[in-house]
Amino acid sequence: MITFLQRAIIMGIPLLFGSTGETITEKSGHLNLGIPGIMYMGGICAVIGAFFYENAVGAANVVPALAILIPLVCSLAGSLLMGLLYSFFTVTLRANQNVTGLALTTFGVGFGNFFGGSLIKLSNADVPSINLTATSSVFKTKIPYANMLTALDNATNGNAKWLVKIIGGFCDLFLSYSFLAYVAVIIAFTAAFVLKKTRVGLHLRAVGENPGTADAAGINVGRYKYLSTCIGSMIAGLGGLYYIMDYAFGVWSNNGFGDRGWLAIALVIFTVWKPNIGIIGSFLFGGLLVIHNYIPGLGVADQELIKMLPYLVTVIVLIFVSAREKKESQPPQSLGLSYFREER
């Protein structure tokens, strides 16, 4: 059971990054269907930075601080660029948000596959992939609680061994992940607090609900749309960084992301646009994605049916939310609509 929950959490972290970033963007009234491409861009930019750093100094001479900083900065820069492109087209030029987002996804995946293939050729690998094991090992560093448990086990007598087992199970479930997993949870809680409890969050929600009214109240609509989209894109890009450096053990292969970006968008609907609920939702989706590995006797067709569960659950939640018609469970009123100030 502990192993299943661990895998569910690890699988859900990229979805949490993506859904938190998309929620922040959608709160401004922009539906960014480019999240899959942005996550892809965040992943490949991290790979590019780590690849050239490892090759410059050698895998054995990697400095942990730089091994984290270089891919992190590259990932944030690449996803920020994608956010700026989307904002320029949809906010400044007022292009169709759906078309722009889909184009951004196509561009991000194409960019990643092109440069990923180029790096594979530079690495002269026997397999069509890039292995950044040294950088990945730094990203996957966990809280060193194993020695503490061993010392505690040696210090207790037979009657208290059950307490050590309970503590060990707690540590395995909550303390056995890399720092990016905890960053994802912290960002989600912070986003929820900012959106609900601060003036900035109030202004952002006002822009998403009725940009004309917000503009008349003196709120800079364009600035809020740009900032929310760019910040949301950078957060989503961290999902690509986590997927490559932690989940995939530093191995990049073209088209290896699957449909995680689209699942992150679906998760926004599932969590009714609340980042704190996204924490539980992402772990639930992660569990649904891996549960077929823990059910014995399943055939290939049965496994594919079970993999459909996250999408099925999202559709059911969407129907349920639409039927309730509660304001707090609805998307921003101007979601997907361009704002034309002259029509105010």
Indicate the Cα dihedral angle 268, 271, 276, 280, nearest 10°.
-110
- Do residues 171 and 204 share a domain? no
Quick one: tokens of 232? Answer: 């949301």
Calculate the dihedral angle through the C-alpha atoms of 149, 154, 157, 158, rounding to the nearest 10 degrees.
70
* Residue 122, pLDDT score: 83
For residues 13 and 85, membership in a common domain is answered with yes
Residues 6/7/13/14 CA torsion (nearest 10 deg): 170
Q: What is the pLDDT of residue 72?
A: 97
Three-state DSSP at 44 gives helix
Residue 341 falls within a domain, yes or no? Answer: no
Same domain, 98 and 168: no
Let me know if residue 41 belongs to a domain.
Answer: yes
- CATH code of the domain in which 50 resides: 1.10.3470
In this prediction, residue 1 carries a pLDDT of 77
Q: Which residue numbers in the chain have pLDDT < 50? A: none
pLDDT given for residue 183 in this prediction: 96
Q: What is the pLDDT of residue 159?
A: 60
Alpha carbon distance 247, 131 (integer Å):
13
What number of CA atoms fall less than 13 Å from residue 238's CA on the CB side? Answer: 27
Provide the pLDDT for residue 154.
Answer: 62
Domain count for the chain: 2
